[in-house]
Amino acid sequence: MLKKMKKNTKNNLITYAMVTAAFIIMQLLISVGAVSSLLEGLMVPLCTYIVLAVSLNLVVGILGELSLGHAGFMCVGAFSSAFFSKCMRDVITAAPLRFFLAMLVGIAVAAVFGVLIGIPVLRLKGDYLAIVTLAFGEIIKNLVNVLYIGKDSEGFHFSTKDVMALDMAPDGTVIVNGPQGITGTPKDATFFIGFLLILLTLFIVINLTNSRDGRAIMAIRDNRIAAESVGINVTKYKLMAFTVSAALAGAAGVLYAHNLSTLTANTNNFGYNMSITILVFVVLGGIGSIRGSVIAAVVLTLLPEVLRGLSDYRMLIYAVVLIVMMIFNWAPGAIAWREKYFHFGKNKRGAGK
């Protein structure tokens, strides 16, 4: 027992140490100018992806349900926080404070969406749950694209038609401009903040998993009927995992939004494609393995950029990674083959039924 606890703790410390070391090395390389500006510009998005992957793993690996709408929560966090920051740009001039508050706004709004969407969605399971999360993700993206918000001396104006329909006084400014999104969000996000957010995400997900509540969540994953029979409140714990995951995705969205001067919602950043990209990280890293998610996000984000020729094949690589990883890890034939020749892969944690 004691040995196991130590092993677990040691394992988690390695994850924290790895992330910290990678950050320090990268920071050093940047300060001596050994990193191309392209790669340097990739650091904040990379932090975003890591946070997204780790948070999605909470739902896919720990809760054992497939969410295809993770980008939707990121979208909610991004837009709500960018809206907040743009409104507060002149009110709160201290960037760190403003960003901190924006972060709280993004997390809170995403968590609320997590609860609102989670309550109906979590009544379903398996394929149906996956497809409904996809539907919610697409609906969020669609709604953001028809949202117009303006502000004038009388206060806020809303519309789902166009800017004219906002009917603002001449002094009014458009804040959210439909498909054009939000422009002029302060660029408050930095690599260091991204690094801190990764640590926070790891801390929350790892500690939740290794607690009474985390055990309940994994028990539901492994056998829902047995979990109920020992008195686990299935709805409560499913919702807990889903909401924490949504809130962290929201945080990733805040980071993402404050790294861009123009924030728009399209398929590639907040739609289905993004949700799948994150899923690829989780699958490659090993479903249920937190450290794996981090490593996979780094490798799959940087590899196509470092090896220039690969960037055209990026999505193709993702597709092949998904198929090969799934068959290699889960096909009974492949498992038998691996055990015969390599004797590993027996003690893997995996997605539930």
Partner 1 sequence: METLLDVKNLGISFGGLRAVNAFDISIKKEELYGLIGPNGAGKTTIFNLLTGVYRPDSGKVILDGVDITGRKVTDISKAGVARTFQNIRLFRQLTVADNVKVGLHNQHHYTAVEGILRLPRYSRVEKEMDDKAMELLKVFDLEDYADHLAANLPYGQQRKLEIARALATNPKLLLLDEPAAGMNPNETGALMEMIQFVREKFHMTILLIEHDMKLVSGICEKLTVLNFGEVLAQGETSKVLNNPKVITAYLGE
Partner 2 sequence: MSFISYLINGLSLGSVYAIIALGYTMVYGIAKMLNFAHGDVIMIGAYAALISMTQAGLSPVIAILIAVVVCTVLGMAIERIAYRPLSKASSTLVVLITAIGVSYLLQNVALLIFGANAQTFPTVIQWKGVSLAGGRLNISGETIVTIAVCLIIMAALITFVQKTKSGQAMRAVSEDRGAAQLMGINVNGTIALTFAIGSALAAIAGVLLCSTYPSLTPYTGAMPGIKAFVAAVFGGIGSIPGAFIGGILLGIIEIISKAYISSQMADAIVFAVLIIVLLVKPTGLLGKKIQEKV
In our burial notation (b when 16+ CB lie closer than 10 A, e otherwise), range 13-25 reads eebeeebeeebee
Tokens representing 124 are 């379903």
Chain positions 134 to 153 lying near partner 1, rule: CB under 8 A, are: none
Q: Which does 9 bind (CB under 5 to 8 A by kind): partner 2, partner 1, none?
A: none
Chain positions 159 to 218 lying near partner 1, rule: CB under 8 A, are: 203-204, 207-208, 211-216, 218
Q: What is the 3-state secondary structure (H, E, C) of 55-111?
A: HHHHHHHHHCCCCCCHHHHHHHHHHHHHHHHHHHCCCCCCHHHHHHHHHHHHHHHHH
* Type of residue found at 6: K
Please give the Cα distance from 219 to 207 (Å, whole number): 16
How many CB atoms are closer than 10 A to CB 346? 8
Beta strands in the chain (DSSP E): 148-152, 155-159, 173-177, 182-183, 262-263
Q: Which of 104, 234, 321, 325 binds partner 1 (CB under 8 A)?
A: 234
**Interface stretch with partner 2, choices 22-30, 35-43, 129-137, 197-205 (CB under 8 A):** 129-137
Q: Which does 312 bind (CB under 5 to 8 A by kind): partner 1, partner 2, none?
A: partner 2
The DSSP symbol for 178 reads G
List, as own/partner pairs, every contact residues 319-323 make where C-beta atoms lie below 8 angstroms and the sequence separation is at least 24, other chains included: 321/280, 321/283, 321/284, 322/279, 322/280, 322/283
Residue 308 binding partner 1, by CB under 8 A = no
- Minimal distance, residue 324 CB to partner 2, in Å: 8
Chain positions 319 to 348 lying near partner 2, rule: CB under 8 A, are: 319-323, 326-327, 330-334
Q: Which of 154, 162, 167, 228 binds partner 1 (CB under 8 A)?
A: 228
Q: How many positions of this chain bind partner 2 (CB under 8 A)?
A: 49
Q: Which does 132 bind (CB under 5 to 8 A by kind): partner 2, partner 1, none?
A: partner 2
Q: Are 191 and 185 in contact (CB under 8 A)?
A: no
Q: Are 61 and 281 in contact (CB under 8 A)?
A: no
**Chain centre distance of CA 91:** 30
Instruction: Report the candidate in 78, 102, 75, 123 with the shortest Cα–Cα distance to residue 242.
Output: 123
Q: Which does 227 bind (CB under 5 to 8 A by kind): partner 2, partner 1, none?
A: partner 1
Q: Which does 211 bind (CB under 5 to 8 A by kind): partner 2, partner 1, none?
A: partner 1
Chain positions 273 to 302 lying near partner 1, rule: CB under 8 A, are: 288
- Minimal distance, residue 191 CB to partner 1, in Å: 25
Residue 339 binding partner 1, by CB under 8 A = no
Sheet harboring 173-177: ordered strands across?
A: 155-159, 148-152, 173-177
Q: Which of 134, 202, 249, 254 binds partner 2 (CB under 8 A)?
A: 134
Q: Are 137 and 119 in contact (CB under 8 A)?
A: no
Q: Which does 218 bind (CB under 5 to 8 A by kind): partner 1, partner 2, none?
A: partner 1
Residue 353 binding partner 2, by CB under 8 A = yes
**Interface stretch with partner 1, choices 37-45, 152-160, 224-232, 326-334 (CB under 8 A):** 224-232
- What number of residues does the chain have? 353
Q: Which residues are near partner 2 by CB under 8 A?
A: 60, 64-66, 68, 120, 123-124, 126-128, 130-132, 134-136, 138-139, 142-143, 145-146, 160, 225, 276, 279, 283, 312-313, 315-316, 318-323, 326-327, 330-334, 350-353
Question: Which residues contribute to the site for partner 1 (CB under 8 A)?
Answer: 1, 3-4, 203-204, 207-208, 211-216, 218-219, 221-223, 225-234, 240, 288, 346-347, 349-350, 352
